[in-house]
Structure 1
């Protein structure tokens, strides 16, 4: 996506989490094209001597400055990844072409298809299998060409997947938590940075390059319009850091975890960990959606308990455990609160 003039540094928290390896990849791309990276590094306030320091990190804002300067110098939004440069505005065209889609699934498939018109070096596809959706990147030519090297390859794969994920979040105005990310290369020295780059576990040395998420997000309607698109394209890089806090499917996801993993979600901390968010964020977002964790737990437990009481002859103790209660007494007490009857009495009357 095109990156334009950045906002003042004071407008965003300066957390240095971006690996210096990505800076090195940009420098390499510029030098490959016979361009000096000095001005771009200066624009990003990066000392040239730091580029070879694997232990150094830069902030997202510095990465924005560096990318913008390098893209303008190269006239390539691909930053040297592909055999053919992507002129300024290429990724903006992809975003605009997806804006009229009725749902996120259609928008992402359109974006992936149109990306193939920009370059044949990689192809992207949206694949759905059961409850899981994957965006798969397939490599047909090494990023940066034969001389591109591993830094450009890693930088390309990470950037393209973060780009499409960030755009997806922006299109539906919702956080889309990842179930995981996979890359075919070995874990780099800065592998710890992937905890910031991608939520969910990251697997290295995998058979494919992909990100995974709950397929239900594909059915969400597009929330943005042309005016919002014009504004976003003035500074598109920040959407890659996914500043979205609201999750439009959080209530559904909580219900699913409580139903499928009742023994692993006894409290807010355990449940939040399974959802890859903090307990505080969990409570706040549920409140924004007019729900509470306790009400959802009661709803799911009640439905499961009543179903087991009606359809099976399991003892009350086993039903209590299957419904997510830590003991039979707490289950009986909760069931009386729901129905006014003990579980055994309710079963006999049913």
Structure 2
């Protein structure tokens, strides 16, 4: 998996947010094999004395380098979590097996199925219900003191890989973990953006099922480049959300007569106004364009399927006057509302 490593200058750059508990877990993997982690810690510029400070944190680059060195030294990409080693390249194989999937749903199902070929100590399952998709982890063996690190790492890597596959942020509605909230629980907000619930069986992540229909956007060349620095997938946060346009349109359609300011829409989608405008622009639309489309479709529906007057239709989609509505409708369709209704035939 991880071939290229952060440069020495990168190691301590940026915010130190990775809990020392995860570093201790890697050290445990070394010691369980009768190996000394001193050289790996030194390469990552992590003092051994830091391991005794439960409040200590390291940077993502330090974590990346230590993990990569440990995986190669132990010849185990699972870092000692499971009853058998996962030799170097195991997770790369999982990535490659799902790369040719047409959609994220197929890719995730392949990942879950093929992961069982590596180990059955933990098993991933993907389910859908009520418009939500959930990836759950079943534990079939005692993971001991490596439990938290194992569950967090595998779920976060799978989430990161899924985001990379479809080149989109996947907003989580919830992440659950089957252990009490640790002292470093604040770090989970960075690893799993969204609500986190502890002491909740089983470990899982839940998200809007519409993400599953997104097409896979990566190819073999992109995979080769990604695998050279795969571990940043476990901490990288994508800015773009390819479901944002759908989410905004759905919100607007639920109340077509409302004003729907950028501030209101952003607040309801749990994002900033700046991010809202930027992501809509990246998708080639604007908030005003989406508002016009929703109002247009609702107006046409009311004109063709009801006997409401043009004035009543105008009010129903948020216009203060019949005149301003007629002007806007003419811009949308090329004809006046009354003409549109007449040409389409009588309402039922």
TM bin (shorter chain):
0.7 to 0.9
Which of 324, 329, 335 in structure 2 is aligned with 1:339? 329
SS at match of 2:25: helix
CA offset digits 1:269-294 (Å, max 9, x no partner): 44334434332122111112111112
Name the structure 1 match of 2:7. Answer: 8
Q: Does 1:232 align with 2:226?
A: yes
Give matches, 1:302-341, under 5 Å. Answer: 302-304=296-298, 307=301, 329=320, 335-339=325-329
Tell me by how many angstroms 1:204 deviates: 1.3
Whole-angstrom CA distance in 2 between matches of 1:168 and 1:159: 14
Which residue of structure 2 aligns with residue 257 of structure 1?
Answer: 251
CA contact (8 A) 2:125 2:137 kept: yes
Q: Indicate the SS of the match to 2:78.
A: coil
Q: Distance in 1 between matches of 2:173 and 2:285?
A: 24
- Give ranges in structure 1 of 5+ residues lacking alignment: none
In 1, distance between residues paired with 2:7 and 2:273? 32
User: Equivalent residues in 2 for 1:20-59 (5 A)?
Assistant: 20-59=20-59
Query: In the aligned structure 2, how far is the partner of 1:228 from the partner of 1:85?
Result: 27
Deviation of 1:112 (Å)? 0.6
SS of the residue aligned with 1:5? coil
- What residue number does 2:198 align with? 204
Is residue 2:171 matched to residue 1:177?
yes
Q: Is the 8 A contact 1:30 1:74 kept in 2?
A: yes
Q: Deviations over 1:63-101 (max 9, x none)?
A: 101111211221111011111111111101111111121
Contact 1:123–1:138, Cα closer than 8 Å, also in 2: yes
May I ask how many residue pairs the two structures share in their alignment?
337
For structure 2, the 5+ residue unaligned runs are none
Q: Match of 1:118?
A: 118
CA contact (8 A) 1:115 1:123 kept: yes
Residues 235-291 of structure 1 deviation map (CA, whole Å, 9 limit, x = unaligned): 111122234322222211211233347799943344334434332122111112111
Counterpart of 2:81 in structure 1 is 81
Per the normalisation by structure 1, the TM-score is 0.84
Q: Go from structure 1 to structure 2 and tell me whether the alpha carbon gap of 1:74 and 1:301 turns closer, same or farther (over 3 Å shift).
A: same
CA distance in 2, matches of 1:182, 1:265: 36
Could you tell me whether the CA contact under 8 Å between 1:177 and 1:276 is conserved in 2? no
Report the RMSD for the aligned CA atoms in angstroms. Answer: 3.2
Which of 144, 151, 156 is equivalent to 1:157?
151
Shift of 1:336: 4.8
Deviations 1:13-50 (A, max 9, x none): 62222111111211122222222221121111111111
Answer whether contact 1:19 1:57 (CA < 8 A) is retained. Answer: yes
Give, in angstroms, the shift of residue 213 of structure 1.
1.6
**2: CA distance between counterparts of 1:33 and 1:138?**
26
So what's the TM-score if we normalise by structure 2? Answer: 0.85
Q: Which moved more, 1:25-34 or 1:85-94?
A: 25-34
Match of 1:97 in 2: 97
2:267 is equivalent to residue 268 of structure 1: no
Shift in CA distance, 311/123, structure 1 to aligned 2, threshold 3 Å: farther
CA spacing shift, 1:22–1:186, aligned 2, 3 Å: same
> Which residue matches 1:244?
238
Match of 1:278 among 268, 272, 276: 272
- 1:302: Cα distance to partner? 4.6
